Amino acid sequence: MSISLDRFGREAFFRFVKRAADRLSRWAKEGNPISIVSHVDADGISAVGIMASCLYRLGVPFRVRIVPWLDEDIISELSSDFEGPFVFTDIGSSYMELLAKELGTRGVLVLDHHPPSGPPPPGWVEVNPHNHGLDGSKDISGAGVAYLVARELDSSFRDLAPLAVVGALGDLQDTFNKRSLAGLNELAVRDAVEAGLLKVSKDLIFYGRETRPIHKAMAYTTSPLVPGITYREDNCLMVLSKAGIRVKEDDRWRAVRDLTDEEKERLLEALRDFLASRGHPPSIVDRLVGTVYTLTREEPWTPLRDAREFSSLLNACARMERPDLGVAICMGDRSKALEEAMELLNEYRSTLAGHVARALSEPGFLEEREHIIVLHGRDAISDRVIAPVASILSSSMVGKRKPLVAYAFSENGEMAKVSARRPPDLVGLDVGAVLREAAEACSGLGGGHDVAAGARVPISELEKFLSLVDELVGRAMRA
Ligand SMILES: [Mn+2]
């Protein structure tokens, strides 16, 4: 039953993909500039890379705006100096009512995978897997939706498939067997492999597996966060030495990809021992083995070679308020933009490492409540990085069986930016739904996916909001 439903869902979904491509072709022929509006994260930037490449190749003038969310001010700023049609990627569906009110008479295309808040006005085209019973949280990303429209526009645009893979990994959609992408994402993976642009293999998933000395790759790995290993190069070197693994070959540092299968086994075993000796579950190590997506046309030793690293680089550009660098890289810049982005990435990593270490060691940051764990970021953690700090901390809380709700002060201290993360084994809880309901009851706005969600709430309502989230999570867990 579910298989045939999925098939009908897909057929309907692809009818909308076709409709969107037709609409874009028509706009392209009319020749008016098109405004691309996207979400400020790795997926949103990848989606822009795809859409902007399409328009560039079709000779259509375009402009790009990358936004953290949509509200009346942002939408009126988007539309005040612009007459042409809009393409929203990786954002829009959750703001349909607002968009309809502000842009109702314009040409609008929404290519998104966030849960829709309502139907689009007549004349607009919305492509969203949720409208067809498909799972937008893990089956396809915003970049994936943009890619399907791109390949429908022109089959030669299939060379953009790697960007859809990067976007899906940026949205942590590798939740299937051995950390692989599945669902509609499989189409982009298959296209990229067939075009000779992507190699899929099973291996150790260490950050920088192609590019960094082994102990650094281990220490830089934050998904999963390995307690005592992440951000701790000293312990990494110790574990490597216990496993009897040489870190250098002659004078050159070895990378993870230089390890033999036997050495990899010994390393995993040593990591299990290390965790067990410190009272952590050794099963964390299982998540370090999985599906590796290698972009074979990218230079080895660059952060673009491994699709997960590529998405981290885009993410850093987004968090450090330079999404333009990410877009340039997605559109093919491999010189100046790449160089600048790599510097930004270093800066970003040390910022995150500092926050995580503080939250774990200083009192007053983490508070365990009945059904949730609260991270009080207040003004000590910037609202730009509260979401990744929440992700890293939540992945370290194996066995806690409680979602993490982190917040930081934002917008001159008037609002709180909230980020919630659900541990992967806590099935049956939709933190997106919880945040939406709680935020709406507290004069705020919230929503997102079942494993990761966000909200904006006035500071004056923050305590009420946190209590309500605690209560709603408790209720959902009993249901
Ligand atoms: Mn997305």
CATH at 462: 3.10.310.40
Verify that 48 and 157 share a domain, yes or no: yes
For residue 424, is pLDDT > 70? no
Local confidence band at 41 (pLDDT 50, 70, 90 cut-offs): very high
More confident residue, 51 or 105: 51
pTM of the predicted model as reported, rounded to 2 decimal places: 0.85
Ligand 1 centroid from CA 407, angstroms = 21
% pLDDT > 90, the chain: 80
Residue 83 sits in the same domain as residue 125: yes
Residue 432 has pLDDT above 60, yes or no: yes
Query: Does 207 lie in the same domain as 165?
Result: no
Ligand 1 centre and the CA of 449: distance in Å?
Answer: 10
Q: What is the mean pLDDT of the chain?
A: 93
Give the C-alpha separation, 443 to 456, whole Å.
Answer: 9
- Residue 4 belongs to some domain of the structure: no
pLDDT of 2 over the 50 cut:
no
Q: How high is the pLDDT of residue 398?
A: 56
The CA 465 to ligand 1 mean position distance, Å, reads: 25
Query: Would residue 215 count as lying in a domain?
Result: yes
Cα(253) to centroid(ligand 1), Å:
36
Domain boundary among 177, 197, 217: 197
- The three-class DSSP label of residue 5 is helix
pLDDT (mean) for 437-462: 93
Band (5; pLDDT cuts 50, 70, 90) = low
Task: Indicate if 173 and 233 belong to the same structural domain.
Answer: no
pLDDT tens track for 315-360: 999 999 999 999 999 999 999 999 999 999 999 988 988 998 899 8
Identify whether residues 117 and 247 lie together within a single domain. no
Residue with the bigger pLDDT between 222 and 399: it is 222
25-39, 69-83, 300-314: range with highest mean pLDDT: 25-39
> How far, in Å, from the CA of 93 to the mean position of ligand 1?
11
**If you measure from the C-alpha of residue 90 to the centroid of ligand 1, how many angstroms do you get, rounded to a whole number?**
5
Q: Based on the domain organization, do 113 and 209 belong to the same domain?
A: no
pLDDT band at 1 (very low <50, low <70, confident <90, very high): very low
Tell me, yes or no, whether 2 lies in a domain. Answer: no
Q: Does 272 share its domain with 397? A: no
pLDDT of residue 397: 67
Over residues 145-167, mean pLDDT: 98
Cα gap 404→435, rounded to integer Å: 12
At residue 304, the pLDDT reads 95
How large is the average pLDDT for residues 7-23? 95
User: Which residues have CB less than 5 Å away from ligand 1 (the ion)?
Assistant: 43, 90, 141-142, 171
* 112 and 45 in a common domain: yes
Based on the fold, state whether residues 219 and 349 are members of the same structural domain: yes
| Interval between CA 143 and ligand 1 midpoint (Å) | 7
Residue 446: predicted pLDDT: 93
Tell me whether strands 125-127 and 108-111 are parallel, antiparallel or unpaired.
parallel
Tally of domains in the chain: 3
| Residue-number span of the structural domain to which 211 is assigned | 202-358
pLDDT reading at 107 higher than 70:
yes
Do 354 and 366 fall within a single domain? no
CA-closest candidate to residue 62, choices 337, 333, 327: 327
Q: Write down the pLDDT at residue 196.
A: 98
Q: Name the domain boundary from 320, 340, 358.
A: 358
Are 265 and 331 in a shared domain?
Answer: yes
Cα of 281 vs centre of ligand 1, distance in Å, is 31
For residue 372, tell me if it sits in a domain: yes
Q: How far is the CA of 113 from the centre of ligand 1 (A)?
A: 7
Q: Contact 408/355 with Cβ under 8 angstroms? A: no
- Residue where a domain stops, chosen among 134, 164, 197: 197
Tell me, yes or no, whether 417 lies in a domain: yes
325/340 Cα distance (integer angstroms): 8
What tens digit of pLDDT does each residue of 187-233 get?
Answer: 999 999 999 999 999 999 998 887 789 999 999 887 777 888 987 89
Task: State the distance from the centre of ligand 1 to the C-alpha of 403, rounded, in angstroms.
Answer: 20
Long-range contacts of 331-337 (CB under 8 A, 24+ apart): 331/49, 331/52, 331/53, 331/56, 332/53, 334/299, 334/304
pLDDT tens for each residue of 455-470: 999 999 999 999 999 9
Per the CB < 8 A criterion, the answer to whether 120 and 98 are in contact is no
Q: How confident is the model at residue 392 (pLDDT cuts 50, 70, 90)?
A: confident
The two three-digit tokens of residue 406, written as one number: 């982190």
Judge whether residue 450 has pLDDT over 90.
no
Distance from residue 41's CA to the centre of ligand 1 (Å): 7
